[in-house]
Amino acid sequence: MKPRLRLLLLLFAVGWASTAFCAGSFAMRPEVQTFITEMREKHGFDDAALELAFASIKPIPAVIRAILPPSDPGIRSWQAYRARFVEARRIRLGLKFWQEHHAALAAAHQNTGVPEEIIVAIIGVETIYGRTTGKFTTLAALATLAFDYPASDLSGAPTPNRSTLFRRELEELLLLARETRRDPLSFKGSYAGALGLPQFLPGSVRRYAVDGDGDGRINLANSPADAISSVANFLKEHGWQRDQPVAVPASVEGEKFSTLLEEGIEPRRNPSELLVYGVTSSDAPELPAALIDLITPQQPTEYRLGYRNFYVLTRYNRSSFYAAAVLDLARELRKRQTTLDTQ
């Protein structure tokens, strides 16, 4: 029986026909049918079950609007970016989160070497400790980005083609749903398909999420212990080095240091090697580092030496601004927590 005829019969049989084929439904689109066929051939999925799932969703315009860069992006500002995350509310809620889940954080640190304050800071930056996890149906959001990723931005300039990435995450979501015996339509998250307190994409959930509370299942949306253990495991699996530095302040002179910026953020040279490029840092550990520039318009650029652990933070979000903001929030949380502990 042809797929479309089979789907129609199934929909009528369950009384869905009047709603499932609303304008814009994904079900009948050729590229979706091709994807369904691939899922059957690669992973043994049932065509009819996937057709029913895709028949119940349609593209989400808000997802496209959110994924597009602004028409007038301006110049990125480190100080403006930092102020969004290293601020009173996240510090206050972060200390509360730390106190409420100190046992899970201590266990995660013991198991992985990732400091407690780094874990707390990431969850704070990502979702303000579960308060902003997203309300989009993840299947619909990922399908929108997989099959309708915009070819140009609001100004008409071409955009990088990321549809392959989101198509892969759509595949991961369906595998995750099958493995956890969940309806794929039951997942809710960000416009980009990120899930739970730590905002893992489905592929990261499958690879790095762990059961932190010992209840036999992984629930990143409702179990802080699972989220804590999963963040720590993600960083460990990406190469976090126990008791090693993350980043230290640096100063630059002359123009030769620009060569180091062109080398990127992966650590390559020891601080002693950086001296000939005009880069200095007091008491910097003699370990491979990269020069990081944190630019704020009309203000002096802030420079840091980023070590391996700084690079690992950029595997969570591939931005030096992100890694530096996590580090600064973590340091502020540690300082406040230490003060509380000594009172």
Given a contact cutoff of 8 angstroms between Cβ atoms, the answer to whether 290 and 311 are in contact is yes
d(CA 21, CA 27): 8
DSSP category for residue 28: T
d(CA 42, CA 321): 38
d(CA 195, CA 133): 7
Place of tokens 């970016």: 81
Cross-strand partners of 305: 248, 291
Cross-strand partners of 269: 289
State yes or no: is 126 an active-site residue.
yes
Strands (E), the chain: 136-137, 188-189, 247-252, 279-280, 290-294, 302-306
Given a contact cutoff of 8 angstroms between Cβ atoms, the answer to whether 35 and 167 are in contact is yes
Strands (E), 202-295: 247-252, 279-280, 290-294
**Nearest Cα to 104, choosing from 123, 88, 90?**
123
Catalytic residue, candidates 126, 169, 171, 332: 126
Given a contact cutoff of 8 angstroms between Cβ atoms, the answer to whether 27 and 21 are in contact is yes
**Nearest Cα to 202, choosing from 178, 222, 225, 224?**
178
Q: What is the DSSP string of 272-318?
A: HHHGGGTEE-TT--SS-BEEEEE--TTSPPEEEEE-HHHHHHHHHSS
Residues marked as catalytic: 126
